[in-house]
Amino acid sequence: MKNKEKKKWTILIYADGNNEMEEVIYKSIEDCIGVGINKDINVVIQIGILSSGVKRYYLNSSEPIVLQDLSKTNMADPNNLYNFVSFGTKEFPAHHYMLILSGHGADFIGGLTDTSLEDNYIMGIPEMVKAIGLGSIHSRSIIDILILDMCFMNSIEILYELTQYNESIKSMITYTNFAPYSGLNYNILIRSMGENLNVNDMDLFIKHIINNLNFELTAYKLDKLQLELIKKQFSHLAFDYLNNKGGNENPINLVKSDNINEINSLIESIIIYSKTKFNGINSSINIICHDISKLIGFYHKLGFSKNNYWTNLLYNNLEGINSSPINRVKVRTADSSTALIHYILKF
């Protein structure tokens, strides 16, 4: 099926239930089916279900239409996310695009775990962002709204990473605190979009969407210049701290100090809308501010870590970082007491 008519919005949902979340993720497709037909909106989903494989559906119809049966596709492979973004934006043209990623989140390490194959996998954050960015650029489209329906995506490091591909992503919405295991209700989300299609101001449109969803969500403008300034401020702060303190104190003290006020003002300036009052770093938005020891190699993959004294503050032996590709990490899911090796694939 190819929709040649250019609609107002195309909603692309990448729903990863190729893990123990399959029942919760499957409900997301049921929510979409019940939303009814809207002539101005395309709804396309790639959904992985551990017990039955991966399929693509067109959902803005009386019955779900199977677009492709992808069988045992690895939902943690960034190349598959890239293919979905390219496919959805090319085949279902629209004036605006929303991309939703639904599944596990593991902070700056990554998310979207897949346990359907012989080995376990997780998608790294830089790989995930590159897949979205290049998928959008190569199809000559822009992701107006990215929703990360995942845990632990509310951080400065991830916001910064999302600006690395020529402003291909305009804004991001995610949870201010913890994500509910059930995730967002896509029925309510899509209905809210349909009710506000005549709102031309994108910031106001986003505000209406958030207000209709029963969760603490924050929307950020992915302003590259502002996020560069925020990164520089953190680097200057860390440089002064290292010179004055010798790096012997815990950097968490910095985000509790009065010196962070200018950074908080810069962050507040990129918030489009939030249901809750902005309370600064590590209350309303996070930054890694503690020794992450063996995980520093993953942190060092992020754009925020480059040429930034904040990284020196987290790890005082940067020369000891393993420069070879880091392609495996231990991940413990919420319902497990054991951490299992998950592999990260290149894009």
> Can you give the CATH number for the domain in which 69 is found?
3.40.50.11970
Q: What is the rounded distance in angstroms from the CA atom of residue 103 to the CA atom of residue 21?
A: 8
- Tell me: do 92 and 146 sit in the same domain: yes
Specify if 335 maps to a domain.
Answer: no
Beta bridge partners of 111: 105, 123
> Can you list the alpha helix ranges (DSSP code H) found in the chain?
22-33, 78-91, 125-138, 156-161, 186-195, 202-212, 224-245, 261-269, 296-299, 309-314
- Tell me: do 54 and 144 sit in the same domain: yes
Q: Given 199, 221, 243, which residue is the final one in a domain?
A: 221
- Tell me: do 168 and 263 sit in the same domain: no
- pLDDT at position 246 is 59
The whole-number mean pLDDT for each consecutive block of 10 residues of the chain, a chain of 347 residues, reads: 80 95 88 81 95 93 90 97 97 97 93 95 97 95 97 96 94 90 89 94 97 94 97 92 70 78 94 94 91 85 94 75 74 73 93
- pLDDT at position 121 is 96
- Tell me: do 240 and 149 sit in the same domain: no
- pLDDT at position 241 is 84
- pLDDT at position 232 is 96
- pLDDT at position 202 is 97
- Tell me: do 194 and 84 sit in the same domain: yes
Specify if 331 maps to a domain.
Answer: no
- Tell me: do 43 and 139 sit in the same domain: yes
- Tell me: do 300 and 214 sit in the same domain: no
- pLDDT at position 63 is 83
Specify if 325 maps to a domain.
Answer: no
Specify if 334 maps to a domain.
Answer: no
Specify if 123 maps to a domain.
Answer: yes
Q: Is the dihedral of CA 343, 161, 108, 294 positive or negative?
A: positive
Specify if 172 maps to a domain.
Answer: yes
- Tell me: do 256 and 203 sit in the same domain: no
- pLDDT at position 33 is 79
- Tell me: do 178 and 238 sit in the same domain: no
- Tell me: do 127 and 217 sit in the same domain: yes
Beta bridge partners of 273: 219
Cα–Cα distances in angstroms (integers) from residue 287 to residues 100, 283, 296, in the given order: 23, 10, 14
Q: What is the rounded distance in angstroms from the CA atom of residue 111 to the CA atom of residue 331?
A: 10
- pLDDT at position 309 is 92
User: Residue written as tokens 């040649």?
Assistant: 4
Q: Give this prediction's pTM.
A: 0.95
Which residues have C-beta within 8 Å of that of residue 2, sequence separation ≥ 6?
A: 91, 92
- pLDDT at position 214 is 87
What is the residue range of 302's domain? 226-269+286-320
Q: Provide the domain count of the chain.
A: 2
- Tell me: do 205 and 247 sit in the same domain: no
- pLDDT at position 28 is 81
Q: Given 221, 250, 277, which residue is the final one in a domain?
A: 221
Specify if 42 maps to a domain.
Answer: yes
Specify if 276 maps to a domain.
Answer: no
- Tell me: do 78 and 57 sit in the same domain: yes
